[in-house]
Structure 1
């Protein structure tokens, strides 16, 4: 049997008593992926991106391992919830306009000590100040550096559109505003290089594209290493007690960790290893999070229909955002129908061996978004379900 066929047999045995749809996390693969992230980080701590996990039990599991420290959250409401659940080092990676949340943060010493908020504009500081409603707790602040690569005098821009702060001088200017403003403390600097950490460099059948992406990423890494170091120096000149400089992502862990200016790495998707990471040559992981849909129809030779399955990932719409039929090997979508809201036809020779009620296993294109479709994850150890844990959704929390 191939490794994938062996995994299918394990998952089918483990969940034989359970009806699909269902979602699982293979703990052996999850832990192996965690070990690989730590190895690639080369001794620098990894801050876990909660949006890529969206399950408190699994956040606790990975943070109990050596090499991991702290959470990178995605909304203020989530940050407050996690702080009240006992997590004590939470970096909110995106600016917020949640006035009620800021009032709660400023009025409670527990969350205020645990949560750091993201700022890249004076208007965000002013919003927080107006939202305090008399709260006197000091707000911990992190600034974000724009990491995009700009070529041809700025006419070509490669990278996510995030922070407006690009030059060290502008970061230092905002840093001075934070330091001078009562009720705030500047504690961190973050720079997420999405065009390196989140873009694969191996495209089957397209060697020219693959080579072009690798060249772009080499140039981008060199440019960002210099600019990030200069930005850190500029901010530390204003705030010498800066606690952390966060960078990276699953796809660039080893490269970012090599930068002296960076003190910690962000990663999360590498724990589940969704299908978008199949195009990365710099590392390989084991798919750990999967979902199963039941076969409900056999329309003809070489075709089965499963219930639901239309769970596209966020980002620019395209086939790479669809879940991947993974087990049994050899199934694919009908091009005219794709992944359906209520039913999904799958074609390929393995269809003829599937019976009504059998499970087809899929991988989501992205990591944590899978958890918005299921209220529980079945944890698989070997060929047994060894536990069931709620997702954020299962705990009644849908933050975005």
Structure 2
């Protein structure tokens, strides 16, 4: 029985649209990620999952420990439900959430917030100034891991922290140590130009060698610079963790002695954008089904909905992939529509009104913003339905 038959059989009693998570694929992806991490713990990126029940499942697997959240309100909620060791990967200016963090002993023990300049410290101090019995706030220092070349005229990597060199990091660590109510516990440096950029892009022979050239040089530069930064900060304060990397860079990141853990999440679901890496091959685990509602012409079907466009720089690679049956493609003048999506191809000839077309999202967790639940498929049956963040009434961004 092929995957399409399995999914159709398991969900025959459901009316699409709906989303599924293939547990066998999830387990295989998790095991491979843990193998690639070579014994270093993987902190699960919650933005790539966005289902508390799935986070709990992954954290029960070997090799995974801790959560990397994307907002402080999310982290507060996760800790309130019993989850532990949550690093908020992005700085926050949410005054109410900061005050709630400082007032809650358990939350303050379990949550670490991100900073990359003294202004963040000022914002936090202002937000918690009226909190009685304020608890110490754990901080993580974010460092720019982007790659610069040609005298700074070329840059690869996300524009994140202004801190790039060891002396800058040590200076901010020193300032944190002088301010009461703060404790610097971690350091993070995320190399998005390696972890989030596939080195085997489809259909672009000219781009491939350029990406590999950049990534090879970035790895060499970063292993030295990140090591110097960690050493300089450790001279100021003890660090509980040094976090780096992502799904696409696990092997290279864990080789660095300075790194104690790697962050990853997308590889668990293996969305479309992660098909284009040489170093690993994942299994598509998260899918959504849309119903065929029209047959406008020969070789054309229309499905309901479908315009689930991924974040990032706009382009065809941000569209969901019509996955099963194979051989469907978008109409070039319509693409993925808000309420309906025409699909072209020979496979459309065999589809009838009410049949399903299975899609893969370009990214991982963004799929869960569209659906209240995930139907967990094991083999050819649904074993459970679990809520997404949306299904629990939570929308953090």
SS of residue paired to 2:342: strand
Instruction: For 1:191 and 1:146, locate their aligned partners in 2 and report how far apart those are by CA, in whole Å.
Output: 6
* Residue number among 325, 334, 339 corresponding to 1:337 in the alignment: 334
* Residue number among 378, 388, 393 corresponding to 2:390 in the alignment: 393
Question: What is the aligned partner in structure 2 of residue 80 from structure 1?
Answer: 76
Question: What is the aligned partner in structure 2 of residue 106 from structure 1?
Answer: 102
Question: What is the aligned partner in structure 2 of residue 233 from structure 1?
Answer: 231
* Residue number among 45, 50, 62 corresponding to 1:54 in the alignment: 50
**Could you tell me how far 1:260 is from its partner in structure 2?**
0.6
Question: What is the aligned partner in structure 2 of residue 155 from structure 1?
Answer: 153
* Residue number among 375, 382, 388 corresponding to 2:379 in the alignment: 382
Question: What is the aligned partner in structure 2 of residue 369 from structure 1?
Answer: 366
* Residue number among 346, 366, 369 corresponding to 1:349 in the alignment: 346
Question: What is the aligned partner in structure 1 of residue 164 from structure 2?
Answer: 166
1:37-91 per-position Cα deviation (integer Å, ceiling 9, x unaligned): 0000000000000000000010000000111000000000000000101111000
1:84-103 per-position Cα deviation (integer Å, ceiling 9, x unaligned): 01111000000000000000
Which 4+ stretches in 1 moved above 6 angstroms?
Answer: none
SS of residue paired to 1:207: coil
The CA RMSD over aligned residues, in Å, is 0.8
Question: What is the aligned partner in structure 1 of residue 313 from structure 2?
Answer: 316
Instruction: For 1:386 and 1:257, locate their aligned partners in 2 and report how far apart those are by CA, in whole Å.
Output: 35
Pairing 1:274–2:271 present:
yes
SS of residue paired to 2:235: helix
SS of residue paired to 2:151: helix
**Could you tell me how far 1:398 is from its partner in structure 2?**
0.4
Alignment size in residue pairs: 395
Instruction: For 2:377 and 2:202, locate their aligned partners in 1 and report how far apart those are by CA, in whole Å.
Output: 32
Pairing 1:358–2:355 present:
yes
Question: What is the aligned partner in structure 2 of residue 196 from structure 1?
Answer: 194
SS of residue paired to 2:250: helix
TM-score (norm 1): 0.98
Comparing 33-42 and 198-207, the one that deviates more: 198-207
* Residue number among 26, 31, 44 corresponding to 2:27 in the alignment: 31
Comparing 8-17 and 154-163, the one that deviates more: 154-163
Instruction: For 1:368 and 1:381, locate their aligned partners in 2 and report how far apart those are by CA, in whole Å.
Output: 20
**Could you tell me how far 1:157 is from its partner in structure 2?**
1.4
SS of residue paired to 1:182: coil
Question: What is the aligned partner in structure 1 of residue 14 from structure 2?
Answer: 18
Instruction: For 1:30 and 1:191, locate their aligned partners in 2 and report how far apart those are by CA, in whole Å.
Output: 27
**Could you tell me how far 1:204 is from its partner in structure 2?**
2.8
Instruction: For 1:61 and 1:226, locate their aligned partners in 2 and report how far apart those are by CA, in whole Å.
Output: 36
**Could you tell me how far 1:201 is from its partner in structure 2?**
1.1
Pairing 1:9–2:5 present:
yes
Instruction: For 1:393 and 1:300, locate their aligned partners in 2 and report how far apart those are by CA, in whole Å.
Output: 37
Instruction: For 1:118 and 1:223, locate their aligned partners in 2 and report how far apart those are by CA, in whole Å.
Output: 24
**Could you tell me how far 1:174 is from its partner in structure 2?**
0.2
Give runs of aligned pairs for residues 175-254 of structure 1, distance below 5 A.
Answer: 175-239=173-237, 241-254=238-251
Comparing 10-19 and 144-153, the one that deviates more: 144-153
Structure 1 stretches of 5 or more lacking a match? none
